[in-house]
Amino acid sequence: MLAELPEYPWDAMAPYAAQAKAHPDGMVDLSIGSPVDPTPELIRTALSAATDAHAYPTTVGTPALREAIVEWFGRRRDVSGLAVDNVLPTIGSKEFVAWLAFMLRLGPGDVVVHPRAAYPTYAIGAAMAGARALASDDPAEWPENTKLVWLNSPGNPDGRVLDIDALRSRVQRARELGAIIVNDECYAELGWDGRWSHDRIPSILDPRVTGGSLEGILSAYSLSKQSNLAGYRAAFVAGDRALIDQLLVIRKHAGMMLPGPVQAAMVVALGDESHVAAQKELYRARRSVLLPALVAAGFTLDASEAGLYLWVTEGKDAWISIERLASLGILAGPGHFYGDHYPNHVRLSLTASDERIGQAAARLRVSV
Across the chain, mean pLDDT equals 96
Whole-angstrom Cα distance, residue 46 to residue 317? 47
Distances (CA, A) of 9 to 14, 78, 329, 334: 10, 37, 20, 10
CB atoms within 10 A of CB 273: 13
Q: Is residue 87 within 8 Å of 221, Cβ to Cβ?
A: no
Q: 42-271 maps to which CATH number?
A: 3.40.640.10
Question: What is the per-residue pLDDT across 262-289, written as a single tens digit (0 to 9) for each?
Answer: 999 999 999 999 999 999 999 999 999 9
The per-residue pLDDT for 10 is 79
Model confidence over 81-93: pLDDT tens digits? 999 999 999 999 9
Task: Report the distance separating Cα 219 and Cα 205, nearest Å.
Answer: 7
Q: Could you tell me the residue ranges of all domains in the chain?
A: 9-38+275-366, 42-271
- pLDDT over 80 at 3, yes or no: no
Give how far Cα 305 sits from Cα of 1, 149, 261, 361, 366, Å.
Answer: 40, 23, 35, 20, 27
- The larger pLDDT score, comparing residue 7 to residue 100, is at 100
pTM: 0.96
Residue 140: DSSP 8-state: G
pLDDT average, residue stretch 204-219: 98
Q: Which pLDDT band holds residue 9 (cuts at 50, 70, 90)? A: confident
Note the pLDDT tens digit of each residue in 283-338: 999 999 999 999 999 999 999 999 999 999 999 999 999 999 999 999 999 999 99
- In the predicted structure, residue 256 carries a pLDDT above the cut 60: yes
The helix (run of H) or strand (run of E) holding residue 174 is helix 164-177
On whether the CB atoms of residues 135 and 119 are closer than 8 A, the answer is no
User: At 282, which helix (H) or strand (E)?
Assistant: helix 274-296
- 151-177, pLDDT tens digit by residue? 999 999 999 999 999 999 999 999 999
Give pLDDT, residue 274: 98
- The pLDDT, as a whole number, for residue 2 is 62
Q: What integer is the mean pLDDT of 338-362? A: 97
Question: Which tens digit of pLDDT belongs to each residue from 104-119?
Answer: 999 999 999 999 999 9
Give the percent of the chain with pLDDT over 90: 95
* Band of residue 124 on the pLDDT scale cut at 50, 70, 90: very high
Each residue's pLDDT tens digit, 221-237 = 999 999 999 999 999 99
Q: Report pLDDT for 255.
A: 95
Residues 184, 190, 194, 197, CA torsion sign: positive
* Residue 1: per-residue pLDDT: 57
The DSSP line for 200-228 is PPPPTTSHHHHTT--TTEEEEEESTTTTT
Q: How far is CA 248 from the centre of its chain?
A: 22
Class of the CATH-defined domain 9-38+275-366? alpha beta
Of 148 and 368, the structure prediction assigns the larger pLDDT to 148
